[in-house]
Amino acid sequence: MSNQLIYMSILVASLGTYFCRAFGVLSARNISPNSPVFNWIKCVSIGVISAVIARIILFPAGILGESTSFSRIVCTLIALGVYFYFKKNVLLAVLSSAICFGILNHFL
Amino acid sequence: MFSSQPFKDGVKHAIGVPALGLGSSMFAFGAFLHSSGFDIFQSFLSTFFTFALPGQFVMAETILAGGTLLNIFLAVLLTNARLYPMTVNLTPVIRNENTSKLKQYIAAHFIAVTSWFNMFAIHRSLKQEDKFDYFVGLGGFLWANSVLCTVLGYLFSNIVSHEILIGMVFLNPMYFLIMTVSNLKEKKMITSITLGALLSILLNKIFPGWSILIAGVGAGSIGYFLFKGEPSE
């Protein structure tokens, strides 16, 4: 893997990513926050994010793929349980789930 | 802009859970790049110019698997395509009549799931003329923190155990999950979120590259059109 190839890959990945953002700014030119299109796009955005989260938890790429599905699913339920039980405490929910995930990964 | 109060308030908003969630995953990504043969400058550049973690992982994995530059471009484009609707959605919220096009294109680089959720959570309590500076403070800090954490992850990868690194990567999707769940108020949002997750799982084996986009667009459209008459918050 040459240095030149790595630099080119970073450039290409950056262009691919920025294209999505720049095209988004361009498309938003005539969109008002009170329009039906705006509300539809908000639903699509949250749908896409929800799809990304489901994919990361059930079919992860990268080093998260080295963990078991069981530990990921259990810790997802823990995050949700802690969030609602402790009056929507985001920090407690995220940290408790990550700590449980670390412990489960160690033993499984 | 950098001395304005809304900018400083945006930075303050980012410090804490948002920076921790994203920063920990970027730290793990820096460690991953170290073990994959990247140098520290390349790791720095990756987050500096891309700032979208799933696409960064895909870039590194595709190059390690021997993929071509075209493979990398298409894989990253598909993986980060979520940024398109997010940008279309956020830009009209933060801009005002004095926001130049150049500023909008620069600020777009700071749009990521974490900054998007946090901006939507607070924007109604801000004056329209303050929103742009606030977002640049919020998103800009998250971006700078991510670049720093990637470099720190690279430098300290030998000290932190592999198990802890995996745990750090898990923090970010859990933060996304909690932020998503906090949107479970309107029926159209509940439907979009639930269907998005279900369709993504169902379509993953049939269209692995496209499942997220198809699921998101399908779920969002069904949610919106089923509850079109529902007042938005």
pLDDT digits (tens, 9 = 90+) for B135-149: 999 999 999 999 999
Task: Tell me, yes or no, if B196 comes closer than 8 A to chain A by beta carbon.
Answer: yes
A75 contacts B174? CB cut-off 8 A: yes
Q: Does the pLDDT at position B220 exceed 70?
A: yes
CA distance B225 to A30: 21
State the smallest CA–CA distance between residue B2 and chain A in angstroms: 22
A19 contacts B175? CB cut-off 8 A: no
CA distance B41 to A21: 24
CA distance A56 to A62: 10
pLDDT per residue as tens, chain A (108 positions): 688 999 999 999 999 999 999 999 999 998 888 888 988 998 998 998 899 899 989 998 777 888 899 999 999 999 999 999 998 888 899 989 988 998 898 887
State the smallest CA–CA distance between residue A31 and chain B in angstroms: 7
B91 contacts A25? CB cut-off 8 A: yes
pLDDT on residue A65: 86
A8 contacts B42? CB cut-off 8 A: no
CA distance B43 to B45: 5
φ, ψ of residue A87 to 5 degrees: the values are 50, 50
Report chain B's mean pLDDT, rounded to a whole number.
91
pLDDT on residue B225: 93
What is the average per-residue pLDDT within B201-227? 90
pLDDT on residue B155: 95
Residue numbers in A near B84 (CB within 8 A): 20-21, 23-24, 27
pLDDT on residue B50: 95
CB atoms inside a 10 Å sphere around CB A30: 8
Q: Does the pLDDT at position B213 exceed 80?
A: yes
Q: How many angstroms separate the Cα of A26 from the Cα of each of A17, A22, B17, B60, B119?
A: 15, 6, 31, 29, 20
What is the average per-residue pLDDT within B96-115? 94
CA distance A91 to B39: 33
B212 contacts A40? CB cut-off 8 A: no
Q: Does the pLDDT at position B54 exceed 90?
A: no
pLDDT on residue B233: 63
A6 contacts B63? CB cut-off 8 A: yes
- Residue B120's closest CA among B51, B34, B179? B179
Task: Tell me, yes or no, if B87 comes closer than 8 A to chain A by beta carbon.
Answer: yes
Tokens of B131: 């929103």
Which of A42-46, A63-67, B82-86, B116-120 comes out lowest in average pLDDT? Answer: A63-67
Gap between the terminal Cα atoms of chain A: 34
pLDDT on residue B184: 81
Under the banding of pLDDT at 50, 70 and 90, the label for residue B160 is confident
This prediction's pTM: 0.87
Tokens of B28: 């793990």
CA distance A31 to A38: 7
CB atoms inside a 10 Å sphere around CB A87: 7
Residue numbers in A near B199 (CB within 8 A): 51
B32 contacts A76? CB cut-off 8 A: no
Residue numbers in B near A51 (CB within 8 A): 196-197, 199-200, 211-212, 215-216, 219
Q: Which sign, positive or negative, has the C-alpha torsion B1, B4, B6, B7?
A: positive
CA distance B119 to B103: 17
The CB-based long-range contact list for B123-129 (8 Å cut-off, 24+ gap) reads B123/B93, B123/B94, B126/B6, B128/B96, B129/B96, B129/B98
Place of tokens 């400083």: B8
